[in-house]
Structure 1
Amino acid sequence: MPSSVPPTFADLISRCSRSAVHLEMRDVYAVDYETGPFAEWRNGFRPDPDDRASWWRPWLDLVQDTVGRGVAVRRARIVSEPVSEYTRFLYDGTFTNVAAGEQVRWLSRRCTSGIALPGNDFWLFDERTVYWNHFTGDGASAGGEVSEDVGEAKLCTEAFEAVWTRAIAHDQYEIR
């Protein structure tokens, strides 16, 4: 009898064969301001480019393995400008994503008015499977949801590609 357990994010990314794209549209994601990586960053810590072992694991290992299988991993971030403190935190650590093989671009929210965007952040695998990221009003994760709906996948593909075309590569984006 087939399992009714939905696939996990790790299952989805390990099954994709061509592309894994991620669209982020929030200026703040819930974090503990007093402990953890964001608090450390607020206290002056910055990842050391020469100390790869100290970077965000196991995520970067997963990206590196995925890219190593020939999958293009791309992330686009839509941000309000001037950027939030949390976006500055993301920006400062993004070189680790790039070093692991992710392609990352940034787009000012002002440049998105003519783009039909879905209501939620998402991952899209091989342009057919959507992993919706749901959040509460204060930015806490409200869980993910997997969709194989052809219309939703098409919307996400078109939205991501429109954002990607307008966005600026991480190494050229100047944080404002």
Structure 2
Amino acid sequence: MEARDAYSKTDSAFVDWKAGKSIDPAKRWAAWHAIVSEAVSRGVEVRRARIVSTPVSEYIRFEHEVTEGLNVAAGEQVRWLPRRNASDLLLPGNDFWLFDSRLLYLNHFDGEGEPTEPEITEDPEIAKLCDTAFEAVWNRATPHAEFAAY
């Protein structure tokens, strides 16, 4: 689950996109594309939920634009939830990946959206909290193909 309106603004792909350069997401992030494609081919379900402010930030417009060619093309299911529709949900304070409802990879960022040291935990209470939060967001969110970021 992702809940920031901007990530690394110095990321070369974002900088290139802002400059109007063409980006081939599957090539640019080939390693990620390969990992997800392989997992999905084995029957693993990969879901990504993004909570975003609306109107969306420039960074989220970039993310939305590359999602089809990267995430969806690799087999991820992606949904978007406007932040205003999440006000009554209890959400963790950090973005995360949850594997098999037990292994939690927490992403930490500084105030500028640059990644800092991630955290991995198998604490069952935190995993359950994140699992419950993700499902609540997922059930409310709009599938990528139906979400207008502009």
Range into which the TM-score falls when normalised by the shorter chain: over 0.9
The alignment's TM-score, normalised by the length of structure 2, stands at 0.94
Aligned residue for 2:90? Answer: 116
Paired with 2:99 and 2:88, the residues of 1 have a C-alpha distance of 24
Does residue 158 of structure 1 match 2:138? Answer: no
Match of 1:11 in 2: none
Q: Give the drift of 1:38.
A: 0.8
Richer in helix (by share): 2
- Which structure shows the higher strand fraction? 1
The runs of at least 4 aligned residues of structure 1 exceeding 3 Å deviation read 46-49
* Residue number among 19, 23, 39 corresponding to 2:15 in the alignment: 39
**CA–CA distance in structure 2, aligned partners of residues 166 and 45 of structure 1:** 34
Shift of 1:41: 0.5
% identity of equivalent residues: 53
Conserved? CA contact 1:46–1:93, under 8 Å: no
Task: Give the structure 2 partner of residue 90 of structure 1.
Answer: 63
Corresponding position of 2:34? 61
The 5 A counterparts of 1:103-142 are 103-142=77-116
Q: Please give the secondary structure, in 2, of the residue aligned with 1:24.
A: coil
Aligned to 2:54: 81
1:48 offset after TM fit, Å?
5.1
CA deviation vs aligned residue, 1:65-105 (integer Å, no higher than 9, x gap): 11112110000000001111000110000002101100000
| Distance in 2 separating the partners of 1:125 and 1:30 | 24
Partner of 1:26: 4
Structure 1 Cα separation of the partners of residues 24 and 60 of structure 2: 19
Residue 14 of structure 1 corresponds to which residue in structure 2? none
Structure 1: gaps (5+ residues): 1-22
Distance 1:79 1:169 in 2: 13
Is the CA contact (8 Å cut-off) linking 1:124 and 1:130 kept in structure 2? yes
Contact 2:8–2:115 (8 Å) recurs in 1: yes
What TM-score does the superposition give when structure 1 sets the normalisation length? 0.81
Give the distance between the partners of 1:86 and 1:31, measured in 2 at CA.
8
Counterpart in the other structure of 2:122:
148
2:43 aligned residue: 70
**CA shift for structure 1 position 47:** 3.5
Count of residue pairs brought into register by the alignment: 149
Q: Secondary structure at the match of 1:142?
A: coil
After TM superposition, give the deviation of residue 45 of structure 1 in Å. 2.5
Q: Which has the larger radius of gyration?
A: 1
Query: Contact (CA 8 Å) 1:46, 1:92: kept in 2 or not?
Result: no
Contact 1:107 1:166 in 2 (8 A): yes
